[in-house]
Structure 1
């Protein structure tokens, strides 16, 4: 499939807590290592996707379901000559917690999907049907009903509670200080020595520890933070030129390139879902 046959549609559903959705065919596009604040759940409709996740390389063939948990670093690229077509849902942690509450009558830790790729034709077809209903502007009742039912089945079949171990070492606390500093000063031109001083570590030790704990090197984490703020500014109607400067990129071309590598669509297309 030539590159010109790549197709991307990205939108939000306001009736479902501004749920983000993606329907795309990618051939040469490659996602940079990144994370999501919420979940990424989808079904492969054609071809195959490969992605690095949890220190392993995974392949999702046609018909398989993909699960990425919040805050976990992953990539994405074609695993087949003609690329891959998929439908993705990006539900917030709150949306899945609500599904759990409605399902069980109790709250629990946010669901954790243990397997990144599963083969479940029945549930995969249901994800596709739900996604199409959202894409084709079905009634509010149908969209809400399908989404809740689909999420409930996904949780019951594949999710588990995941109490994460808490680390309180000096090194861990130093990395958390660096992470907070990058979150608060994402638009600044920050040096490695600055971050090393904040963490009370050597520059090399900082790089190694930050990557181990966060999953990304500091510069990539800063770029991802910039992109997250850029998405919010696009929703407010700010121009791409102004956003590039505001969030700390050298120019619009650098901003556009990084945005597409992380989000999968150009910033102009992403902004159009808020301002058609």
Structure 2
């Protein structure tokens, strides 16, 4: 018989965001409530629980969403061990992101559903959980991970306000893009980049992706990879390329470079220089 296991991990970059990785075999939660939004994904086993007057069973892949203050309990629904991940997000952290994602009256948001099965939201929750657990990425990637969760919640609600653009906004976005180009070595935060466009950071994130087709984090990474490719083609030593393009070490560059260009930086340099 496996022991019950509960591992909590606070985000290093997002205040009010905590991850729980749980394995339960013979443990039952008493009825309780959280002040945060609680978004969990059942990974294995079955999770049976009561919440706000209803009984639910969550199979692997299902999403459990408890609103702040929602009373609930929980326990394994079969003899098999239950595995799940739960991300707790304080309203003060997620409401600005819901607003930036276009949700009307975001401050009043409460999910009408407790049990969901949505592949996009499930992927966003697990990606955010992975970032918190690994703790190796910068604040820009963590904020993007949380925004992806908020954006999908806003989409599922269906009460959008379309983002408005004009030439002045476009010029501000171009200025922010140039700031990224000029600071390729730096570990930029979303706040630093959005300040160049004189916008709130989550509104900026939404408009930036709408304009350039990728998030600020994706654009920063793409810019670094393009600069790295140019330096490799010019014959620069690998360690210099790592330093000049803002990667933490060669293995970090390898992990990011190969999925985009199909080979490692060293292989790319050899192919380009040797014809």
- TM-score scaled by length of structure 2: 0.54
CA offsets, 1:233-267, max 9 Å, x none? Answer: xxxxxxxxxxxxxxxxxxxxxxxxxxxxxxxxxxx
Q: Pairwise mapping of residues 104-183 of structure 1 onto structure 2 (< 5 A)?
A: 104=102, 107-137=105-135, 138-158=137-157
Q: Distance in 1 between matches of 2:38 and 2:103?
A: 25
- With over 3 angstroms needed to count, the CA separation of the structure-2 counterparts of 1:159 and 1:78, relative to structure 1, is farther
CA offsets, 1:38-85, max 9 Å, x none? Answer: 111111111110111121210011000001111111001001211311
Partner of 2:71: 73
Secondary structure of the 2:45 match is strand
Partner of 2:53: 55
The offset of 1:31, in angstroms, is 0.6
Q: Distance in 2 between matches of 1:54 and 1:18?
A: 24
Moved over 2 A (4+): 104-110
The offset of 1:121, in angstroms, is 2.8
Partner of 1:218: none
Q: Pairwise mapping of residues 165-244 of structure 1 onto structure 2 (< 5 A)?
A: none
Q: Judge conservation of contact 1:44–1:87 (CA < 8 Å) in 2.
A: yes
Q: Distance in 1 between matches of 2:43 and 2:130?
A: 12
- With over 3 angstroms needed to count, the CA separation of the structure-2 counterparts of 1:13 and 1:46, relative to structure 1, is same
Q: Judge conservation of contact 1:29–1:77 (CA < 8 Å) in 2.
A: yes
Can you give the 5+ residue segments of structure 1 that lack an aligned partner in the other structure?
161-276
Can you give the 5+ residue segments of structure 2 that lack an aligned partner in the other structure?
160-275
Task: Report the count of equivalent residues.
Answer: 159
The offset of 1:103, in angstroms, is 1.6
Partner of 1:31: 29
Q: Judge conservation of contact 1:93–1:110 (CA < 8 Å) in 2.
A: no
Secondary structure of the 1:112 match is coil
1:44 paired with 2:30, answer no
- TM-score scaled by length of structure 1: 0.53
Q: Judge conservation of contact 1:34–1:74 (CA < 8 Å) in 2.
A: yes
The offset of 1:155, in angstroms, is 3.0
The offset of 1:143, in angstroms, is 1.1
The offset of 1:158, in angstroms, is 4.5
- With over 3 angstroms needed to count, the CA separation of the structure-2 counterparts of 1:36 and 1:105, relative to structure 1, is closer
Question: Which has the larger Rg?
Answer: 2
- With over 3 angstroms needed to count, the CA separation of the structure-2 counterparts of 1:121 and 1:108, relative to structure 1, is closer
Q: Judge conservation of contact 1:113–1:159 (CA < 8 Å) in 2.
A: no
- With over 3 angstroms needed to count, the CA separation of the structure-2 counterparts of 1:108 and 1:122, relative to structure 1, is closer
Q: Distance in 2 between matches of 1:120 and 1:108?
A: 21
Q: Judge conservation of contact 2:102–2:154 (CA < 8 Å) in 1.
A: no
Secondary structure of the 2:123 match is helix
Q: Judge conservation of contact 1:30–1:77 (CA < 8 Å) in 2.
A: yes
The offset of 1:107, in angstroms, is 5.0
Q: Judge conservation of contact 1:96–1:111 (CA < 8 Å) in 2.
A: no
- With over 3 angstroms needed to count, the CA separation of the structure-2 counterparts of 1:55 and 1:107, relative to structure 1, is closer
